Structure 1
Amino acid sequence: MLDVRRLQILRAVVTSGSVTAAAAHLGYTPSAISQQMAALEREAGVPLLERVGRGVRPTAAGRLLTEHAGILSQHVTEAERALADLRAGRTGRLAIRYFTSVGPTLLAPALARLRREYDGLAVDLTLTDLEDPLRSMQQDDSDLTILVGSSMAGSSESPPGIRVVHLVDDSYLAVLPTGHPLAGKKALDLADLADEPWIGSEPPGPCLDPILNACAAAGFSPDFAAKSEDHATAQGLVAAGLGIALIPRLGLNTRHPDVAIRAVRRPEPVRTIYAAVRESTLTQPAVRILLDALKDAAKESLRS
């Protein structure tokens, strides 16, 4: 097998025209260069150089290997440049898992900011399994997962190699038909809604649990007249007069014109949103910028 380092020395000898000149350029002694060329000729099985006066010139085999040495050198340079771009986050691929209601409010503006700074970075988006997103993350190749939990950040619930970062506490708001008697209030006690028919807006799991737990704390269980498991449909059902709903603030970026939205208190249901990131990716500038952009998008969305 041909030694790549010796091929580069051969290229230096051929382009310099002599062993002495190549030795001066490479910082070796002429004797060391001659030894490397002799070893390369043994590997090749044919002469690679012939003497011409005080210099050397390549044989046909020498010219062939010199050409390939140049190609190898170019490929190594390109590989080093590509690796530097990857380390800096200018290129590569980020695999992101998210759940539906944070797509337009958090993820889209965060990715827009990321793209402005790293336009060569490819992004793969996949809806996550809300029931057990961290387990899913351990089993796939995702770099960042947006998830909902109660008190996960910094806890022992984080699997090895995964850092959980708090993004935002997202309050649930009451959504009522515009003509509802309670729509005249600026804020509602949760107990005010105890006798109302309810429209489910969340699937079972970490997004529904804060609602059920808050209702239990207020002394009742909601009576669901219908379950839609998505925020837009839930608003439509409320507007049609079928009941009331609790929908998180981040899920209300598009509001139905025929509903009234009011704050809820005593207690206020809240879902906490996190980003789970592989610790091995936290050194990448693009990942750090994405985390900052997600936090900024959350703050902006809650202000609107």
Structure 2
Amino acid sequence: MSLNPASLGRKLRFAQIIVFEQVLRSGSILRAAQALNMTQSAVTKVIHELEGQLGAPLLIRGNRGVTTTEFGELVARRAKTLLAELRHLTDEISAFREGTSGQVLIGTLISASAVLLPRAIQLLKEQAPAVSVTLRVGQMDQLLPALAVGDLDVVVGRIPEDVSWRATAPGLEAEILHREPLCVVGGMHHPMASHTSTTLQALSDYPWILPTRDSSLRQTAEHLFYDAGLALPANVVESLSVMTNVALMFDQKTLGLMPRSAARQFVDTGSLAIIPLENAPSFGDVGFFAVPGTLAVRAVELFKDCLRAAAREVG
């Protein structure tokens, strides 16, 4: 069946796209019907109508719910983009009618600056209290594809020095805001905390917390030891949970790696100490990822400006 934008536009209704996306989000017709306050048969009818208009099956129905066909996956990607634009249109209309309002969906890499993002949100709320802010924490291979299809507006975090991330989500751009040092941390009474300087070799026999192997920071941690001619420590916990890591370091033996801005917060509260390591590595560039060329959404653009202002304060 040959389609063109005009003929498809006359057939499709936005409500159909909303129902289809909710079915994918819920994983079943029944749960989608409950979320939409519709009957199961009404949701099924909408999906059948949509499949008839597009000329191919969208879903595979099974005992455990529904999954997309290959064609359905293609439609799902575009549906998310359409719904993201609808959300932006709603925000823009609200902002025009009521002043600065709307919603900003922020993805944050677990290794993101502990100072930059909270400060940027504070600045945003000072200027636009009515803007709703939603945070989603994850890894780059989860957040960047979500950003590319419109599920997120901005992703804030560490920007890798290589450009391999572009393969995950081509078409995105990164803006560097500041460079962050990396430091070794331990409990306030760690035996090495009182030293004025130490080497990585002197620290290698202690228990260590290293980033998980699927995180972008793991490569930095491995290079730290390899560049010093050392193997990775034998006694290791792999974790990206900040609060768990801090609790583990209360044993006054375990060491970990943190961006200096995050470490300073725990030092100031008397929780941790920065171990003075010779030739400490850089955490890297911190900034944000965004989709270039999209229509400017007032609340999102305001948040980007707040990120830039917060970076100047950090600097």
TM-score (norm: length of structure 1): 0.60
CA distance in 1, matches of 2:206, 2:99: 52
State the partner residue of 2:107.
97
Q: Output one character per residue of 1:111-131: Cα deviation in whole Å (capped at 9) or x when no partner.
A: 221122223333332223334
In the alignment, residue 259 of structure 2 is paired with which amino acid?
P
State the partner residue of 1:254.
266
State the partner residue of 1:277.
290
From the CA coordinates, give the structure whose radius of gyration is larger: 1
State the partner residue of 1:234.
245
User: Aligned-pair RMSD on alpha carbons?
Assistant: 3.7
Q: Does residue 181 of structure 2 align to residue 171 of structure 1? A: yes
In the alignment, residue 254 of structure 1 is paired with which amino acid?
F
Helix, strand or coil at the partner of 1:122: strand
By how many angstroms is 1:156 displaced? 5.9
Q: Decide whether the 8 Å contact of 1:201 with 1:234 is kept in 2.
A: no
Helix, strand or coil at the partner of 1:107: helix
By how many angstroms is 1:90 displaced? 2.0
Q: Paired residues, what number? A: 224
Helix, strand or coil at the partner of 1:183: coil
Helix, strand or coil at the partner of 1:188: coil
Q: Does residue 306 of structure 2 align to residue 293 of structure 1? A: yes
CA distance in 2, matches of 1:164, 1:261: 30
Which has the higher mean CA deviation after the structures are superposed, 163-172 or 211-220? 163-172
Change (3 A) 1:89 1:158: farther
Q: Decide whether the 8 Å contact of 1:178 with 1:258 is kept in 2.
A: yes
CA distance in 2, matches of 1:186, 1:291: 39
CA distance in 2, matches of 1:88, 1:94: 17
Within a 5 Å distance, the mapping from 1:74-223 to structure 2 comes to 83=93, 85-86=95-96, 90-100=100-110, 102=112, 105-151=115-161, 159-200=169-210, 204-223=214-233
Change (3 A) 1:205 1:228: closer
Change (3 A) 1:156 1:245: closer
Change (3 A) 1:232 1:202: farther
In the alignment, residue 283 of structure 2 is paired with which amino acid?
V
Q: Decide whether the 8 Å contact of 2:105 with 2:152 is kept in 1.
A: yes
CA distance in 1, matches of 2:259, 2:113: 14
TM-score (norm: length of structure 2): 0.58
Helix, strand or coil at the partner of 2:240: coil
Within a 5 Å distance, the mapping from 1:25-40 to structure 2 comes to none
Q: Decide whether the 8 Å contact of 2:181 with 2:281 is kept in 1.
A: yes
Q: Output one character per residue of 1:157-215: Cα deviation in whole Å (capped at 9) or x when no partner.
A: 58554221112322221113444443222343334323332133556411222111121
User: What are the ranges of 5 or more consecutive residues in structure 2 without an aligned counterpart?
Assistant: 1-88
Within a 5 Å distance, the mapping from 1:8-27 to structure 2 comes to none
Q: Does residue 281 of structure 2 align to residue 268 of structure 1? A: yes
In the alignment, residue 281 of structure 2 is paired with which amino acid?
E
Change (3 A) 1:159 1:200: closer
In the alignment, residue 174 of structure 2 is paired with which amino acid?
V
In the alignment, residue 113 of structure 1 is paired with which amino acid?
L
CA distance in 2, matches of 1:103, 1:261: 17
Change (3 A) 1:139 1:187: farther
Identity of aligned residues (%): 21
CA distance in 2, matches of 1:89, 1:189: 55
Q: Output one character per residue of 1:109-151: Cα deviation in whole Å (capped at 9) or x when no partner.
A: 2122112222333333222333453223224421111133322
